[in-house]
Amino acid sequence: MRPVLFLDVDGPLNPFAAKPKPPGFVEHKFRIRGWSRRHPLRMWLNPGHGTALLDAAGNAELVWATTWGHQANTMVGPAIGLPTLPAVDCANVDSGWKFDAVARYAGPRPLVWLDDDFDLYPAARDAFLARRDGMVTHLVRVDPRTGITDVHLAAVREHLK
């Protein structure tokens, strides 16, 4: 079975909590429907992350797991050099946060997931991990002050061996 590498935007790719902007990241301003017309959404993205993620993913299917949904393909992906990717529908998640949607998408396949919010929903996280007992499942926590680093990419490669 082909493994899946799930990818969140805010935190892992956009280190929104960083002070100052981390080295290698470039400021982008996006105009998004529903966002202020006068004040576009400011994000920091590392243009090298696209290639690095594709390399780390190897044969795994790279999938957005973000409330950005398919908008990640039109804004974030091109800014970091990622092709169009499938997206898990995380826009209207219930008390299971993203866990239920990710579980449905992955099915029994091995998965690795880069996100910064796993610990905000401990009951949902623990239930997700319990349902995946016996299936390869690795949650790689990314600090929203640093974004994805070489350490995270090495963890992805190790877990996807």
pLDDT band at 17 (very low <50, low <70, confident <90, very high): very high
Q: 3-state DSSP call for residue 40?
A: coil
- Residue where the block lists tokens 């090298």: 48
Which residue range(s) make up the domain with 30? 4-159
List pLDDT tens digits, range 26-46. 999 877 665 556 677 789 999
Considering only CA atoms, which of 123, 144, 115, 128 is closest in space to residue 7? Answer: 115
pLDDT level of residue 136 (50, 70, 90 thresholds): very high
Q: Rg of the Cα trace of the chain?
A: 15
Domains identified in the chain, total number: 1
- Average pLDDT for residues 130-138, to the nearest whole number? 96
The mean pLDDT value of the chain amounts to 92
Compute CA 43 distance to the chain's CA centroid, rounded to the nearest angstrom.
Answer: 15
Residue 91 has pLDDT above 80, yes or no: no
The predicted model gives 114-139 an average pLDDT of 95
The pLDDT, as a whole number, for residue 31 is: 74
Domain CATH number, residue 47? 3.40.50
In this prediction, residues 55-70 reach a mean pLDDT of 95
- Name the pTM for this structure: 0.93
Beta bridge partners of 53: none
